């Protein structure tokens, strides 16, 4: 029963959550929307892993000490050999509880190493032709195409092309620099990398594909909001139009990446923030998404212990 409930939670998160991708409130509260997508992703993975554990661990493991756990392990192995029909459930449990976390860890390590290598190579190539503009705290690269982007990590940097430096007005430049520094200050590349890791590790899951797309979009909205607090929103929107069409290098975050039309419209016609009660409700749903699967998996144990059917050593 617990396994079925956990698998149902994972299925609902994987298929239903992506339908909320275009929720109007997300553009009004991008930070909360990012946390919600991350919570849905974590809840999905946790539900699958716990479902695998409930398939693998028999009820005899509910008791306490190490000896009982080892006995439960031995009983599981014995039941598999004694009852061939038990083997598929144990294999499915191992796939979800062991192979899934290992797959995520391997993809994460590979992605982090690859991104670090790409950023290191990008810094080297920029250093060959860039000149520091100390008054702005940026690096300037000679180019006839207007572009602005930031390179996260250590050392981090904001990079402008000479064309952008000449094309942008003072207010527009202030907004662009605030946008890029918001990316660096907020470590937005980590949120984007985590979403990409999950999608690569489990391709074909609608939730993870939608989460990656939405988080990439929402971090840009967060940076736009930071820019609009430092410069006139009209200037920030104008800078986006000037930089429209630019493509930042792979390991970088660009000022005009993503849906420029939506972002410009959002800046020119500000929308009211999400009311506090709605924020609280969304936050509560996000927390339930993460901790709900844990509560489902733990309920049989808690129920058995509280009823006195199981005595945990040291609790008597």
301-312: pLDDT as tens digits: 555 445 444 444
Handedness of CA 2, 3, 4, 6 (dihedral sign): positive
Q: E strands of the chain, at which residues?
A: 130-133, 138-141, 148-151, 157-161, 253-254
Give residue 315's pLDDT.
45
For residue 237, give the nearest of 250, 248, 249, 221 by alpha carbon: 221
Question: Is the separation of the CB atoms in 7 and 47 below 8 Å?
Answer: yes
Average pLDDT of the residues of the chain: 82
pLDDT band at 105 (very low <50, low <70, confident <90, very high): very high
pTM listed for this prediction: 0.83
Poorest-pLDDT segment among 198-207, 220-229, 256-265: 256-265
Give residue 316's pLDDT.
46
Question: Is the separation of the CB atoms in 101 and 48 below 8 Å?
Answer: no
Query: What does the alpha-carbon distance between residue 296 and residue 9 come to, in Å, rounded to a whole number?
Result: 10
The percent of residues above 90 in pLDDT, for the chain, comes to 47
Query: What does the alpha-carbon distance between residue 64 and residue 59 come to, in Å, rounded to a whole number?
Result: 12
261-303: pLDDT as tens digits: 888 888 988 778 888 899 999 999 999 999 988 887 776 555 5
Ramachandran angles phi, psi of 272, nearest 5° = -65, 150
153-206: pLDDT as tens digits: 888 899 999 999 999 999 999 999 999 999 999 999 999 999 999 999 999 999
Element at 299 (helix H, strand E): helix 276-307
């Amino acid at each position: 029963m617990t396994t079925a409930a956990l698998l149902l939670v994972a299925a609902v998160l994987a298929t239903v959550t992506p339908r909320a991708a275009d929720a109007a409130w997300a553009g009004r509260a991008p930070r909360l929307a990012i946390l919600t997508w991350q919570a849905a992703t974590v809840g999905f993975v946790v539900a699958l892993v716990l479902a695998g554990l409930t398939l693998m661990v028999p009820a005899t493991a509910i008791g306490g000490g190490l000896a009982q756990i080892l006995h439960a392990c031995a009983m599981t192995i014995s039941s598999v050999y004694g009852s061939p029909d038990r083997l598929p459930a144990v294999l499915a449990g191992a796939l979800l509880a062991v192979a899934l976390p290992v797959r995520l860890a391997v993809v994460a390590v590979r992605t982090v190493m690859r991104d670090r290598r790409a950023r290191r190579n990008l810094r080297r190539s920029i250093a060959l032709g860039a000149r520091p503009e100390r008054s702005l705290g940026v690096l300037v690269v000679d180019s006839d195409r207007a572009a602005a982007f930031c390179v996260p990590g250590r050392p981090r940097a904001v990079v402008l092309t000479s064309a952008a430096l000449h094309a942008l007005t003072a207010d527009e430049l202030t907004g662009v620099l605030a946008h890029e520094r918001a990316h660096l200050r907020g470590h937005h590349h980590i949120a984007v990398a985590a979403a990409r890791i999950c999608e690569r590790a489990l391709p074909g899951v609608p939730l993870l594909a939608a989460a990656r797309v939405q988080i990439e979009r929402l971090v840009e909205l967060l940076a736009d909001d930071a820019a609009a607090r430092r410069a006139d929103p009209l200037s920030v929107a104008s800078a986006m139009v000037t930089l429209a069409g630019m493509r930042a290098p792979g390991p970088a975050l660009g000022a005009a990446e993503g849906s420029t039309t939506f972002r410009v419209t959002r800046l020119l016609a500000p929308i009211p923030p999400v009311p506090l009660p709605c924020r609280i409700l969304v936050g509560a749903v996000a927390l339930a998404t993460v901790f709900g699967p844990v509560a489902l998996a733990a309920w049989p144990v808690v129920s058995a212990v509280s009823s006195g059917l199981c005595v945990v050593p040291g609790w008597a």
